[in-house]
Amino acid sequence: MNRRIIVVAGGNLFTLAAQYLQDATQWIRIAQANNLSDPVLQGVNTLVLPEVNPAAGGGVAA
């Protein structure tokens, strides 16, 4: 498994998904990996990023 841990100050999961997963619609995968429901981040957050998977769906929670 090739997970990455990052520390961010504010921002949103859309931008992080675009930067690290090459697909902003996969923001939900970052949210699920970190037990988050809001894509807008407040304060400083340590996040686990899932592996890049171009075939993964995104955009809405199941």
Domain range for 39 is 4-49
Copy the structure tokens of residue 9.
């100050």
Residue 56 lies in a domain: no
pLDDT score, position 19: 96
Quick one: pLDDT at residue 1? 57
Q: How many helices (H) and strands (E) does the chain have?
A: 2, 2
**Are the C-beta atoms of 20 and 52 separated by less than 8 Å?**
yes
Structurally, the chain folds into a number of domains equal to 1
What is the reported pLDDT for 2?
66
Q: Look at residue 57 and tell me if it is in a domain.
A: no
* pLDDT digits 0-9 by tens, 5-43: 999 999 999 999 999 999 999 999 999 999 999 999 999
Percent of the chain with pLDDT over 70: 89
| Mean pLDDT, rounded, of the chain | 91
